[in-house]
Structure 1
Amino acid sequence: MKKVSLFLPIIVSLVLQSCGSLKNAKNTEEVFWVSGIKTECSAGAGKMNCLNIYKGNNIADATWEFFYAPIEGFTFEEGMLQKIKVRVERLNAKDVPADASSLMYTFIEKIESHVDIRTYLAGEWNVTSLYNKEFNETTNAPSLTIDLNKNRVSGNDSCNNYTGQISNVTSQSLKIKTVATTRRMCFIMDVANSYNKALGEINTYLIKGNNLIFFNKEGKKIVSFTKSAKKELEVSLGGNWIATRIEGAPINRMVKTPRINISLDEMILSGNNGCNNYTAQINKISESKIVIGQIAATQKMCRDMQVGADYLKMLQSSVSFKVKGDSLKFYNKEGIETISFLKVVK
């Protein structure tokens, strides 16, 4: 009995130490990078925007992975790479809700942060050169939209619309796979074919201001883009307009006045020429230049068809524009005014 009494304090001490060790074993610390981009991911029954993390040391060539769990106390900063330290606690299974992580993450400190260069890729771009062939502002050049949230690219190859998946993107490289296009046949397919070939060869990139340059595996420049001004233009150019002059002459008040709606989100012009409804694709647009696709109109017969015919003819010939407040003017390739509009204020 005395022997048991002598060993009891030792046994209790060992048990307590063991429990303490088990408790501490449940808590660890981790250090990893958090991307400046959240990407769409599948979680449970639906989709959500997930953090992306990288646990390696070569951040310039990082392979990112989804991070589904929340990090208590951490603030995501869009466009910023953050290297952070977190505490990781393993929860008891009985305390974990269904479909939830058994690990709880708590933010400890930010070790370093800097700009996530990849975010400069996001947005809409217009081709300026393709395999050393230069494109001017009036050329129907291919376009590219990069959506980093969905890891997707889309655009128009000068003939067909296309979409593709981004398989990997780092601060220096971008890989595109599974490009699908519509099947429309155009009179000239050379540009479209060359552009689709270039998409498959893209390996690395360089961003200089509003210019984006892609290179192949050999480091040869294959295609260059300039940033689209669509978002800024949507504010001033988008919406409904009513025509006031055609070829510099006021419109006869006795006829129905032509109207136009400009949607840069859909890249479509539509409206009524005073008799028939019409629509046309905007193939390309910049701060002052526009390329209008073939205009299609209904074939209704009206008493006065001349104004409508002149209007569509002038609209089709327009290649540039100027917006000043509530005034919009289109011009042909000689710089002569084709149509003048006033903004329709609701």
Structure 2
Amino acid sequence: MRKNILVLLFLGVALISCNATKTQKNDSVSKLDGMWELNYISGPRIAFDGLYPNKKPTINFNVKENQVSGNSSCNSFTGKLVVTGNKIDFTQPMAMTKMMCMDAQQGEQVFMSTLQKITSYDVTDDGKTLNFISGDIAMMRFTKK
């Protein structure tokens, strides 16, 4: 078995030596990776199924490429993934299609405007539920697809 040892030398004299280990990539960010489907959104007085009668919004994270994409129940969007620890920022401009979807228009507006308010996230230990949080209030909940 090979050990990684860091030795600091000065003029050929060992001043200090210690075990060297690799730091692990932030596990909470890697838990974001993949497709998630919205199953709860706070705020609107309209029932969830009324906002999204035909198609629930989805969000997809590609952590390796620092990309976020998805569908707002009508239009597709894509942009840069901005994550630091459990902080997440959706205020960067995103590219979005402009299809007209009469039955999903209000739901789309609620989804996109709520996304702009999100400041952090939490993925449950089992990796199946993603919560988007604004301040200390859970605003959106997604299920892993």
TM category (shorter chain) comes to: 0.7 to 0.9
Could you list the runs of 4 or more consecutive aligned residues of structure 1 that deviate by over 3 angstroms after TM superposition?
77-82, 114-117
Q: Quote the sequence identity (%).
A: 27
What per-residue deviation string (whole Å, max 9, x for no partner) do you get for residues 254-289 of structure 1?
A: 231100111221222111111111012122320x22
* Residue 330 in structure 1 maps to residue 125 in structure 2: no
Task: Mark the structure with the bigger radius of gyration.
Answer: 1
* Residue 79 in structure 1 maps to residue 4 in structure 2: yes
* Residue 257 in structure 1 maps to residue 52 in structure 2: no
Show structure 2 runs of 5+ residues with no match: 8-16
Structure 1 residue matching 2:102: 3-state secondary structure: coil
What per-residue deviation string (whole Å, max 9, x for no partner) do you get for residues 88-122 of structure 1?
A: xxxxxxxxxxxxxxxxxxxxxxxxxx6575x65xx
Deviation of 1:291 after TM superposition, in Å, equals 2.1
TM-score, reference length from structure 1: 0.33
Paired AA for residue 115 in structure 2: L
TM-score, reference length from structure 2: 0.73
Deviation of 1:299 after TM superposition, in Å, equals 0.9
Bigger RCO of structures 1 and 2 (CA < 8 A, at least 6 apart):
2
Aligned to 1:343: 144
Aligned to 1:167: none
- Distance in 2 of aligned mates of 1:257 and 1:297: 17
How do 1:89-104 and structure 2 match up within 5 A? none
Structure 1 residue matching 2:81: 3-state secondary structure: strand
* Residue 239 in structure 1 maps to residue 15 in structure 2: no
What per-residue deviation string (whole Å, max 9, x for no partner) do you get for residues 169-217 of structure 1?
A: xxxxxxxxxxxxxxxxxxxxxxxxxxxxxxxxxxxxxxxxxxxxxxxxx
* Residue 321 in structure 1 maps to residue 121 in structure 2: yes
- Distance in 1 of aligned mates of 2:117 and 2:65: 21
Deviation of 1:247 after TM superposition, in Å, equals 1.6
Paired AA for residue 236 in structure 1: K
Give the number of aligned pairs: 128
- Contact kept? 1:262, 1:268, Cα under 8 Å: yes
- Distance in 2 of aligned mates of 1:310 and 1:273: 9
Structure 2 residue matching 1:300: 3-state secondary structure: coil
- Distance in 1 of aligned mates of 2:117 and 2:3: 43
What per-residue deviation string (whole Å, max 9, x for no partner) do you get for residues 55-103 of structure 1?
A: xxxxxxxxxxxxxxxxxxxx8x473469xxxxxxxxxxxxxxxxxxxxx
Show structure 1 runs of 5+ residues with no match: 1-74, 83-113, 124-226
How do 1:110-189 and structure 2 match up within 5 A? 117=20
Query: What is the alpha-carbon root mean square deviation over aligned residues?
Result: 2.8
- Distance in 1 of aligned mates of 2:60 and 2:141: 14
Deviation of 1:314 after TM superposition, in Å, equals 0.9
- Distance in 2 of aligned mates of 1:275 and 1:298: 9
- Distance in 2 of aligned mates of 1:244 and 1:338: 11
